[in-house]
A and B are shown apart, each in its own frame.
Chain A
Amino acid sequence: MSTIVIGLSMGMLLFLLAAGLTLIFGMLRVINFAHGSLYMLGAYLAFQMVSVTGSFWAGLVAAPIIAAIIGALMERIALRPVYDRDHVYQLLLTFGFILVLDEAVRIIWGLEYKQMYPPELFAGAIEMFGSSVPSYRLFIIGFGAAVSAALFFMLDRSRYGMIIRAASGDPEMVRTLGINVSLVRTGVFSFGAGLAALGGAVAGPLFPIELGMGFNIIIDSFIVVIIGGLGNIRGAVMAALLIGMTRALGYSYAPSWVDFLTFILLIGTLILRPEGLFSRKGRTA
């Protein structure tokens, strides 16, 4: 039973790491290779805020906001001119962002590891089903569920979500209705960058904060996005939970096969349902 709780937390963490990637791909059709670097930036920004204010919550709020501003600048200055070109230009550009962001982090924070701790409220462990489950893991489950619900309602039920989806599907038509599509795109990229940073801030107390930490999660994020269906938020949640559970059971019974099991899921999806296990035709949210 405790394995299920841990699997849930692993899944929710994976979702938080991948949400920004799936949003940007779903709405802008841009594969953002710099997602991992934005996640890393989020962890460093959160660390900085915690160092200055002493509050984990300040880091959790400030890191996504700062990263969202940086994301908006990245989109406005670099990405916007290449929307009309071939996808390969966007790929190269986001790859370039990795180099710039990594170097910026190295210059500002250096090569030493940084550390963050869970907030006092979630610092201990709770006895559940005969296991000591860190309460921060329970926080991740709740927080991940809240973020996924908020994203779903924003994209699927709100007026803003409708505009975003319409701008993604038929930008010309939306433009003729008097909506500034360029601004919508900037907003989406900025929001996705903020989500990546949010993932970094949440992951800070669990992993070492170091240069290159983004590289570690980018593959996981792509697996979630592919299994869930490209750009599908609900699919991303389901895929993240599926992978989390698979891994939790894998670690219980065959830890050295965990990566193998994850990739089997990925390959199986690509062969049997390349549009994603949880995709429905025409759905983007």
Chain B
Amino acid sequence: MKIVKSTILSAACAAVLAFTGGNYAMADEPESFKIGAVLPFSGPYGIIGKGMKQGAQLAIEMRGGEVLGKPVEVTWEDSETKPQPAVQKATRLISSGAQMIFGAASSASTAALQGITEQRKIPLLVTISADDKITRANGYRYTFRTSNTLGMEIRMALEFTKAAGLKKVYGVGADYAVTRDGWDAYKAAAEEAGVEIVGIDYPPLGNRDYSVIIDKISKTDADGVILIVTGSDGVTFLKQAGQAGLGKNKVLFGPVLQDEVLAAAVGPDAVGAASGVRYHYSLDNPANKAFVEAYRAKYNEWPDSFAGEAFDGMSWFLDAVDSTNSWDREEWVKAFEGSVRENSVEGRKEMRACDHQALQVGLWGVVEKGEAPYPDLKMKITNIFQPDVLFPACEE
């Protein structure tokens, strides 16, 4: 009897709490829709923060600056490309009433933000961090990623290996866990596809001298070199490889090796390097054309991957919020998971309910010389891979 009594009492309490909680969300309609953006504006990823901010700002502007009939108010905070400041700033933003968090750039910072957003039940919009663990099946309820995963990019590299007819491949990966996992996955699938793996080297992350490794690779009969490195590491490798002429008889490629920002840093030695591309302004669809036109009019530059992905993610999320006509964050989560965006700037995207990862096409391109009005070095999109070969089912 006692048990029954306490159960009824608990249920009643829960009902009261749920009711008042729901009422709170409905009744306490804020003056504005507050977004807390935690992006790197300084540190190694400073340039990423700049592109993301410009893309997200344009997304808000192009919808008239409003969501749910209220003005959108964004507070921009600098994550300094480090997890600790990112968490501190997100905590402060949430305390000041942020209804969602947008960021960060490095996967480590994003993972740190996931802790606080899950705890406070605030949606976290991720548009650049690629670590697969950020979106995993039955993982983070409040995290949504609208951009690529590293796993997807590794699979693109594999598809490219097959499409380019490469028979022998040498690998170079920055020495950390995500890269090693990526290499293991690539190696297993490549060998299954009949590609011979000639060797693998793991220089430290942030390595400054690749000359010995480049020399080693040049003495092998590999016809392709997969570089699972990004940012400055990729730039350093390609600069030094160019000076030794490595790219003359070997195809240099990588899942996130190059985009126009990085190609500009390498210079002419980047020409011919192939890479996964997260977003590209040349994609031929009405949504992208409208975005690129507006972006160029506002900023007088071509949108980079960071801007394109941020624009896409922010537009999509805010549309999902608008569709609920509610200030209840749980409703937003329900509306976003499983939603389909037919008119994304990268074509169709589908937010998978099981892991909150957007299924989308994968873009692959090669660096080539550009002519005005394009940058001196630009990515030419050579392959578009379909989601069914890039995303394993959620159970895996």
A binds B: yes
Taking a contact as CB atoms under 8 Å apart, the answer to whether A131 and B243 are in contact is no
Bound together, the chains give a CA A137 to CA B243 distance in angstroms of: 9
The reply on A112 being an interface residue by CB < 8 A is yes
**Distance between B16 CB and nearest chain A CB, rounded to angstroms:** 52
B264 neighbours in A (Cβ, 8 Å): 112-113, 115
A125–B206 CB distance below 8 A: no
Q: Which chain B residues lie closer than 8 Å to A106 at the CB level?
A: 42, 46
User: Are B44 and A210 touching (Cβ within 8 A)?
Assistant: yes
Contacts of A7 in B (CB 8 A): 212
Q: Which of A9, A13, A208, A212 is close to B239, meaning CB atoms less than 8 Å apart?
A: A208
Whether B208 contacts A207 by the Cβ 8 Å rule is yes
B240 contacts A by Cβ under 8 Å: yes
Docked pose: A138 CA to B218 CA in angstroms: 19
In B195-224, the 8 Å CB interface with A consists of 201-204, 206-213, 215-216, 218-219
User: In the complex, which residue of chain A has the Cβ closest to the Cβ of B262?
Assistant: A113
Q: Chain A: which residue is nearest B218 at the CB level?
A: A132
The answer to whether B244 and A256 touch across the interface, beta carbons within 8 angstroms, is: no
Q: Name the residue on B nearest A210 (C-beta).
A: B232
Please pick, from B43, B204, B218, B235, the residue contacting A208 in the complex, using a CB distance under 8 A. Answer: B235
Do B209 and A2 touch across chains, with their CB atoms under 8 A apart?
Answer: no
Which of B204, B240, B243, B264: most chain A Cβ within 10 A? Answer: B243
> Given A118-B243, A256-B202, are A134 and B211 also a contact pair (CB < 8 Å)?
yes
* B175 interface residue (CB < 8 Å to A): yes
- Chain B residue, CB-CB nearest to A259: B204
Chain B interface size, under 10 / 10 to 19 / 20 to 34 / 35 or more: 35 or more
Bitwise, B169-180 to A at CB < 8 A (1) or not (0) is 000000100000
Q: A216-B208, A248-B212 are in contact. Are A134 and B240 (CB under 8 A)?
A: yes
Cβ–Cβ contact A134 & B219, under 8 A: no
Bound-complex Cα distance A123 to B244 (A): 10
A212 B44 Cβ-Cβ under 8 A: yes
**Complex Cα gap A217–B206 (Å):** 10
Contact flags A84-116 to B (C-beta < 8 A → 1, else 0): 000000000000000000000010000111110
Identity of the chain B residue whose Cβ is nearest the Cβ of A117 in the assembled complex: B267
Q: Is A252 a contact partner of B239 (Cβ separation < 8 A)?
A: no
Interface presence of B74 (CB below 8 A)? no
Interface of B is mostly: helix
Known: A113-B264, A255-B213, A258-B203. A125 touches B44 (CB 8 A): no
Indicate if B236 sits at the interface (CB-CB under 8 A). Answer: yes
The residues of B that contact A247 with a CB separation of less than 8 Å are: 209, 212
A218 and B236 alpha carbons, distance in the complex (Å): 17
Judge if B251 is at the interface, Cβ distance under 8 Å.
no
Cβ of B176 to closest chain A Cβ, rounded Å: 10
Q: Return the chain A residue nearest B40 by Cβ.
A: A111
* B309 CB, nearest partner CB in chain A, Å: 18
Q: Is the CB of A115 within 8 A of B211?
A: no
Whether the Cβ atoms of A208 and B236 lie closer than 8 Å is yes
State in angstroms the CA–CA spacing of A70 and B201 once bound together.
Answer: 41
Q: Could you tell me the distance in whole angstroms from the C-beta of B298 to the nearest C-beta in chain A?
A: 18
| B204 and A3 within 8 A (CB) | no
| The residue from B203, B208, B211, B267 contacting A9, defined by CB atoms under 8 A apart | B211
Chain B residue at smallest Cβ distance from A207? B236
Complex Cα distance, B44 from A212, in Å, reads: 6
Whether A133 is near chain B, meaning CB under 8 Å from some CB there, is yes
Contact status A208-B232, CB under 8 Å: yes
Contact across chains for A2 and B267 when beta carbons are under 8 A apart: no
A111–B239 CB distance below 8 A: no
Asked if residues B236 and A132 are in contact (CB atoms below 8 Å), the reply is no
A140 to B: closest C-beta gap in Å = 11
Complex CA gap A87/B206 in Å reads: 31
| Residues of A127-174 whose CB lies within 8 A of B | 130-134, 136-137
Q: Can you name the residue of chain B whose Cβ is closest to the Cβ of A220?
A: B208
Contacts of A206 in B (CB 8 A): 208-209, 236, 239-240, 243
CB distance from A142 to the nearest CB of B (A): 16
Q: Does A49 contact B (CB under 8 A)?
A: no
Judge if B245 is at the interface, Cβ distance under 8 Å: yes
Contact partner of A133 (CB less than 8 A), chosen from B206, B216, B244, B261, is B244
Asked if A10 is at the interface (CB within 8 A of a chain B CB), the reply is: yes
Query: In the complex, which residues of chain A have a beta carbon less than 8 angstroms from the beta carbon of B203?
Result: 251, 255-256, 258
User: Are A125 and B243 touching (Cβ within 8 A)?
Assistant: yes
Give Cα A118–Cα B244 distance, bound, in whole angstroms: 12
The answer to whether B243 touches A6 (Cβ under 8 A) is: no
What chain B residues lie within 8 Å of A113 (beta carbons)?
Answer: 47, 235, 261-262, 264-265
B87 interfacial contact with A, CB 8 Å:
no
A-side contacts of B175, CB under 8 Å: 255-256
Nearest CB on A from B88, distance (A): 19
Judge whether A125 and B261 touch: CB under 8 Å: no
B266 within 8 A of A: yes
Is A211 close to B, CB under 8 A? yes
Cβ of B50 under 8 Å from chain A: yes
- In the bound complex, CA of A210 to CA of B48 (Å): 13
* Inter-chain contacts of B42 with A (CB < 8 A): 106, 211
Q: In the complex, what residues of B have CB within 8 A of residue A220's CB?
A: 208
Residue among A6, A113, A130, A210 having the largest count of chain B Cβ atoms under 10 Å: A113
With beta carbons under 8 angstroms apart, the residue of B201, B202, B213, B219 that contacts A131 is: B219
Give min CB distance, B306 to chain A, whole Å.
Answer: 11
Q: Say whether A115 contacts B267, CB under 8 Å.
A: yes
CA gap between A280 and B65 in the complex, in Å: 70
Q: Which chain B positions have C-beta within 8 A of A13?
A: 209
Interface string of B184-202 (1 = CB under 8 A from A): 0000000000000000011
A242 CB → nearest B CB, Å: 15
Q: Determine if A274 is an interface residue (Cβ-Cβ < 8 Å).
A: no
Q: Closest 7 CB pairs between A and B?
A: A113-B265, A251-B212, A134-B243, A208-B235, A256-B202, A111-B47, A255-B201
- Additional 9 contacts, C-beta under 8 A, given A206-B240, A210-B232: A6-B212, A113-B265, A130-B219, A134-B211, A134-B243, A208-B265, A213-B232, A252-B212, A258-B207
